[in-house]
Amino acid sequence: MGGSNSTGRRSGSVPRAMPPVEEVDISAVRYKSPALQAPHLTGFSLRAFVWLMESPLLGRLITSVLKSQNNMPQMLQQTVIPERPMYYPEFPLQDPEPEVVLVDEDRDPVERVHEALRCLPQYDPSVRWTTEENPPFLYWKIRDFAHAYSSGITTPSVVAEYVIAGIEEWNNKKPPMPMLIYFNAEDLKKQAEASTKRFQRGNPISILDGIFVAIKDDIDCFPYPTKGATTFFDQIHTVERDAVCVARLRKCGVIFIGKANMHELGLGVTGNNPNYGTARNPHSVDRYTGGSSSGPAALVSSGLCSIAIGTDGGGSVRIPSALCGIVGFKTTYGRTDMTGVLCDSGTVEVASPLTSSVDDAILV
């Protein structure tokens, strides 16, 4: 849409034509706050006003009066915007860049992951595996797990037992650390057993086979409910299938540990949740993780899983990742299919990975 440095009311019925956007000097635009007539209400008067606004007849009448008092119908009807409306962002096609691999969106997820794997440096187990008696703390990355599974050092089933014990330990701490809203230990064991058998037969699906993944509670992951960290949303929303991003991960053989805690409906940047408790920062439990993808960040930063999938509109992946010392990557709009995500029609929010390393973010 174009802009204008004129925000005052226009008298009569003379249309106000906004200049085309290419003719607007943004540096010269100054916003002038218009005089608004709106009630200032608190306490009982606010509750009474809300009750009136929710009334089918009175609510419409009050809304119409408030709009007329503030000249909104005239302003909208008498403003001419030269550009056609845009419902989704547009971005021009880019020329191919040297040494950049394009991974086609329509390709099989396993093939896409394999293509991304080829872009990473050669994996050197000696860098990560040590015989030191007291080795330093290191996050296990995706390729660390894959190496451990394929070489027989451990199995997904063994790791699953540690994950279950870790989740129970965090939940029983004082104060508790509710990183997951929905968790089913038996389902986790079944997924891990299936992955273990694939490794025993020598045919893992992909580099992501047996990797433990948490899904934020505003993304559908069948058969788990999607609540958006509320107490009601699962009553009006039935999960019948995986979200597209979840389905692609499942096809690669990942193990889902459950639905991760979050700021209720994603409307906040602290992660504070009065319904299920607050997922605290594993590095300092008296501090917030940040939000709204608080549970995913806490799970990855605590080392319970290498990957979590969150959603980011105004920083909901990047903020908790920064506060918890992990990697949060907001993907480009349109890069990830948002079907099956609670906010699947926005032009800002995207499903994005939280990982312990940049390498893992690339693979996810």
Question: Is pLDDT at 7 greater than 60 in this prediction?
Answer: no
Short-list 338, 363, 361, CA closest to 218: 338
Which pLDDT band holds residue 5 (cuts at 50, 70, 90)?
A: very low
Give per-residue burial for 169-184: e unless 16+ CB within 10 Å, then b.
Answer: ebeeeeeebbbbbbbb
pLDDT digits (tens, 9 = 90+) for 185-199: 999 999 999 999 999
Q: What is the rounded average pLDDT for all residues in the chain? A: 90
For residue 263, report the phi and psi dihedrals to the nearest 5 degrees. -65, 135
Q: Residue 14: what are its φ and ψ, rounded to 5°?
A: -75, 120
As a residue count, the chain comes to: 364
Is residue 197 flagged as an active site residue? no
| Least confident window among 205-219, 265-279, 339-353 | 339-353
In this model, does residue 11 exceed pLDDT 50? no
Collapsing DSSP to helix, strand or coil, 317 comes out as coil
Give the other-Cβ count within 10 Å of 291's Cβ: 31
Burial 142-166 (b: 16+ CB within 10 A, else e): bbbbbbbbeeeeebbbebbeebbeb
Band (pLDDT 50/70/90 cuts) for residue 269 is: very high
Give helix 56-69 / helix 43-53 axis angle, nearest 10°.
110
- Of 130-134, 178-182, 226-230, 271-275, give the lowest mean pLDDT range: 130-134
In tens, the pLDDT along 199-232 reads 999 999 999 999 999 999 999 999 999 999 999 9
Domains of the chain: 41-83 (no CATH), 109-119+140-363 (3.90.1300.10)
Q: pTM higher than 0.85, yes or no?
A: no
Point out the catalytic residue in the list 141, 216, 259, 330. 216
Question: Is pLDDT of 92 > 80?
Answer: no
Provide the pLDDT confidence category of residue 332 given band limits of 50, 70 and 90.
Answer: confident
List 294, 301, 316, 321, catalytic entry: 316
Beta partners for residue 327, in sequence order? 355
Confidence at residue 6, expressed as pLDDT on a 0 to 100 scale: 43
157, 292, 294, 321: the active-site residue: 292
Percent of the chain with pLDDT over 90: 68
Residue 157 among the catalytic residues: no
In the prediction, which pLDDT does 83 show? 84
Q: Is the pLDDT of residue 4 over 50?
A: no
104-156 confidence digits (pLDDT tens): 878 999 999 999 999 999 999 887 777 677 777 788 999 999 999 999 999 99
Task: Based on the residue annotation, tell me whether 259 is a catalytic residue of this protein.
Answer: no
Whose structure tokens read 């001419």? 80
Residue 290 predicted with pLDDT over 60: yes
Q: With CA atoms as reference, report the closest residue to 270 among 302, 301, 316.
A: 316
Please determine, for residue 99, whether its predicted confidence score (pLDDT) is greater than 50: yes
Grade residue 3 by pLDDT with cuts at 50, 70 and 90. very low
Flag whether pLDDT at 10 surpasses 50: no
